[in-house]
Amino acid sequence: MEKEEIIQLLQAKGEARTALLQRAQDVKVKEVGNKVYFRGLIEFSNVCAKDCLYCGIRKSNDKVIRYEATDDEILDACRFAWENKFASVVLQSGELSSPAYVKRVDKLLQKIKQLSNNELGITLSCGEQSLETYKHWFESGAHRYLLRIESSNPDLYYKIHPQNDMHSFDKRVEALGFLKKAGFQVGTGVMIGLPFQTYEDLANDLLFLKKLDIDMCGMGPYIEHEDTPLYEFRHQLKTKQERFDLALNMIAVLRILMPDINIAAATALQAIDPAGREKALAIGANVIMPNLTPTAYREEYQLYEDKPCLDEDAELCRNCLEARIHVAGAEIGYGEWGDSKHFKSRTKEP
C-alpha cells in the first residue's frame, strides 16, 4: 500500500468505510483466526520519571496520588489470571529505570513464573531500559513487550513530549531495537487524533510500524486530560466520535498492511463508545486486556479522562468482557498464550 492510498482509506466514510472494515475483518479471520486472547492488565505503579505532555500520571502532575501495589497484590492478580485461564498478564507502570525498580520487576517475573508453573505468559510495559535490562527480564520470564512510540514524526513527538534527554525520539526508537535484540515479541503503537496531527502523519505511522516489522500493536484515540499541558490545545481536536472512527480505520488499515500481527482493542475506545472494544474486535483486533489492577488503585492510573472499568473487580471485568466478545461474534482463546504469528514467522530459522 502506498502512502496516498492509506491516507484515502483513513478518511473513508459511508460505503467505502464499510468495505474497508469488512476487508480488515476478513483478513483477520483468514490470517489469525477468530479467537480473542486475554491479557490481564496489572497497573502496578503510577510513579513515573517522565513528563509527557499528554499524560495524566506525568511526573509534574501533583494532583495524582502516587501508589505502588505490593508484591502480594500483584501476585494475587496474577493468580486470578492463571486460575481463570487468561493465559497471559501485562505488567504496566510509569517509566522508571532505577536499579531498585529493575530488580523488583525481575523478582516479580520469577515469582509469577513460579506461582503459575511457568504457564502464565508475561507482557511488560515498563518503558525504556538498557539492552542489558531487557535481556535480563527476558531471561526471567517475560516474552512480550509493549513500548509505544506515540508518533513516528519527530516534530510531532516533540510537541507532545518535552525536548530533553529523558524524552528522546531517537532513544525511543533505539529501545525498540534493543527489545528485538533481547528476543522479545515487540509491540508499539500511536495515539490517534492528537492536536497538530495530520492524516499524512497517521499514514506514516502505519508505514513506520510496517518498516519496524513489529509483532503486536496497541493504539487508540487520544483523549485529553485536564491536568496536562496538551489540554490547552483541546479546541484543535476532532470530536471524540471522529477520533473514534479514525482509530477504527487505523486498526483496519494496519490489519490489512500487517495481516498476521496481534492488535489490541484499546481501552480508550471504550472511553468514547461503550461498545468500542467490541467494534475493534469486529474489524481486525484480536487481543483484549481485562483490568486486574486492584480497584483501590485504578482511580489513580488515569492517563486520560473517562477511563472505563474503574470500579469493576476482576471477576466482574472478566464476565463483562466475555459477554462483549461473544457479542462481537468471536471466541476466547482460554488457556492459550496467543503469541504473534508474525513473530513466529519473523524468527523462523532460514
Encode 2-31 in three state secondary structure. CHHHHHHHHCCCHHHHHHHHHHHHHHHHHH
Is 40 in a helix, a strand, or coil? strand
**Gap between the Cα atoms of 179 and 314, Å rounded:** 30
**Gap between the Cα atoms of 31 and 287, Å rounded:** 14
**Gap between the Cα atoms of 89 and 44, Å rounded:** 12
The C-alpha cell at 128 is: 525504556
For residue 70, CA distances in Å to 45, 56, 92, 318 come to: 9, 22, 14, 22
The C-alpha cell at 167 is: 524524552
pLDDT for 71 equals 98
Cα–Cα nearest to 41, from 311, 270, 267: 267
CB 126 within 8 Å of CB 95: yes
Angle, CA of 256, 276 and 159, to the nearest 5°: 75
Phi then psi for residue 116, to 5 deg, are -105, 15
Q: Which fold has domain 3-344?
A: TIM Barrel (3.20.20)
Query: At how many degrees (to 10) do helices 199-212 and 240-257 cross?
Result: 30
Cα–Cα nearest to 333, from 9, 70, 35: 35
Phi then psi for residue 36, to 5 deg, are -115, 135
Cα–Cα nearest to 36, from 285, 341, 343: 285
**Gap between the Cα atoms of 47 and 245, Å rounded:** 32
**Gap between the Cα atoms of 70 and 311, Å rounded:** 19
pLDDT for 325 equals 84
pLDDT for 327 equals 74
Identify the sign of the CA torsion 309, 339, 68, 110.
Answer: positive
pLDDT for 315 equals 75
The C-alpha cell at 244 is: 473514534
Half-sphere exposure of 318 toward its Cβ, with a 13 Å CA cutoff? Answer: 17
pLDDT for 322 equals 83
The bridge status of strand 216-221 relative to strand 191-192 is parallel
Q: What is the pLDDT along the chain (350 residues), one digit of tens a residue?
A: 999 999 999 999 999 999 999 999 999 999 999 999 999 999 999 999 999 999 999 999 999 999 999 999 999 999 999 999 999 999 999 999 999 999 999 999 999 999 999 999 999 999 999 999 999 999 999 999 999 999 999 999 999 999 999 999 999 999 999 999 999 999 999 999 999 999 999 999 999 999 999 999 999 999 999 999 999 999 999 999 999 999 999 999 999 999 999 999 999 999 999 889 999 999 999 999 988 999 899 888 988 788 877 776 777 777 777 877 887 788 999 999 999 999 999 998 55
Phi then psi for residue 120, to 5 deg, are -80, 125
CB 213 within 8 Å of CB 262: no
DSSP designation for 167: G
The predicted model scores a pTM of 0.96
**Gap between the Cα atoms of 350 and 346, Å rounded:** 10
